[in-house]
Chains A and B, each alone.
Chain A
Amino acid sequence: MMQYLVSVIDDKSNSGTDEEMAAIDVFNAGVQAAGHWVFAGGLASPDSATVIDNRDDAGMVTDGPFVETKEYVAGFWVFEAPDLDVALELAAGGSRACNRKVEVRPFL
């Protein structure tokens, strides 16, 4: 089995409507029942990000995200699936439920 990160792409954080949240709950329950569930979560906006660079023991702390973009990862699922086709099918269901586009990437 492989694990896939399915990132939810948005230009806002925590912007789901009540209907979307309900659809996500139904979708999540289905994924759990089918045994593909690993983890999921929403992420606060990049405004709340802090970047640490301690590579030279310099303890650099910077306010803000590592890259400024209009769209960013606003949440994610981690699914367990035997291959990409299954992961894509799950991701398609996730995209429909949360009404946003998603990106699928395999874990190494």
Chain B
Amino acid sequence: MSDDIATAITRAHRGEWARVVAALARRFGDLDIAEEATAEAFATAVERWPADGVPPNPGAWLTTTAQRKAIDRIRRESKRDDKQKEARMLHDDDPPGPSGAIDDERLRLIFTCCHPALAPETRIALTLRLVGGLTVPEIARAFLVQETAMGQRITRAKAKIKAARIPYRVPSAEDLPARVSGVLAVLFLVFNEGYLATGPDTPPVRHELTSEAIRLTRVLRELLPGDGEVAGLLALMLLTEARRTARVSAGGELVSLDEQDRGAWDKALIAEGHRLVRERLATGVAPGRYQILAAINAVHTDASDARATDWSQIVALYDLLVRLDPSPVVRLNRSVAVAELDGPEVALADVDRLGDKLDGYHAFHATRADLLRRLGRSGQSRAAYDRAIELAGNTAETAYLSRRRDQLGQRDTSIHR
């Protein structure tokens, strides 16, 4: 296959997957059929495009092909066939609804995937699969579970949606607030998977996932302009995304925040993020988790260089966050800020208390490695880098950690007998 065709297929997969699944789900009312048929349509594209050329409108070609595959499949499978239903499917050529905020097909798909009748970890998996177009192995890696277990989880969820008839729609206005927090959690995870992609074979940053998460959060904000956490998550994503191009070097290595070229940060995204954070502060309403995280990122992006960062404010914001969410990951992140304010020794003491809970988490070992390095404890630092590299799934991060490890001296100079 020529590079052009491969690129076209990759681009179509990133850009059109969710749209095709959503269009089929709407038409056939069956997520399983929608997803299988979409996958078949992409498989057909891989076979046909190299010979026939890339169609002028790949999205329309994929949707039409997927619809044919779906109808074939329904015909094949409907032993107890419902002729009427079939006839309706064959003739339902309604133009897709207006693409206003509420009618966004992908948003419906997200609310369906994030229905409260599904378990939280299932909602994320299903959203990544159906909306993000991630493969089951990719999702399994992101969640550190076996591929077969993840496959079964997704299959069971789709079966429940079908059997219990979980509706394919954006919930009504009065149900929205209650359903939104689950959706935000999922969108944040999709964003994070894009920002720090986990696979050894995937690019380190998957812009299609970060931009899709941002796009959908924007749509959600149009629906719920008064919801502080929606605004907070949007601000958080924008302020994080603003640093994206500065975050990975030309050589494919992660660049830490203090070493990033701040001139390469996206000023428009930062301005928009800051505006949202200020808008939330002005309401005087106690901020939730996303608003606090957005505020932390606003402090970072306010500083003209790393040394100008207001670390005391960042630690204060983390203190607020710990009260809301005392999870070990939040405490780990707080200790990174503490290291800047009170020194690496104080931070290391905090970090070491989290060892039991975070031993399987690469960022825990990476943080320890850095603190140990700054304290001159090279031998222990190297061991911590080794462990972090072993656990890290992101290629740019692995490259960064490897370089940091290799910069350490050959001998542990901190231990003098």
Contact = CB atoms under 8 A, between A and B. Distances in A.
A83 B163 contact: no
B197 to A, nearest CB: 34
Interface string A75-108: 0000000111101100000000000000011101
Interface stretch (B123-131, B164-172, B198-206): B164-172
B176 interface: no
Contacts of B43: none
Contacts of B164: 84, 87, 104-106
Contacts of A88: 117
A104 B160 CA distance: 12
Contacts of B163: 106, 108
Contact of B166 (A83, A105, A108): A83
A104 B164 CA distance: 9
A2 B165 contact: yes
B117 A83 contact: no
A84 B360 CA distance: 39
Nearest to B116: A88
Contacts of B175: 85
Contacts of A83: 165-167
A87 B166 CA distance: 10
Interface string A1-43: 0100000000000000000000000000000000000000000
A104 B167 CA distance: 15
Contacts of B115: 84
A67 B184 CA distance: 40
Interface in B161-202: 163-167, 171, 175
A108 to B, nearest CB: 7
A88 B166 CA distance: 10
Contact of A106 (B165, B167, B171): B165
A106 B167 CA distance: 13
Contacts of A106: 163-165
Nearest to A88: B117
Interface in B111-140: 115, 117
Given A82-B167, A84-B167, A106-B165, 11 more contacts: A84-B164, A84-B165, A84-B166, A85-B166, A85-B167, A85-B175, A87-B164, A88-B117, A104-B164, A105-B164, A106-B164
15 contacts: A82-B165, A83-B166, A83-B167, A84-B115, A85-B166, A85-B167, A85-B171, A85-B175, A87-B164, A88-B117, A104-B164, A106-B163, A106-B164, A106-B165, A108-B163
Interface of B: 115, 117, 163-167, 171, 175
* 6 closest Cβ pairs, A-B complex: A83-B167, A106-B164, A83-B165, A84-B164, A84-B166, A2-B165
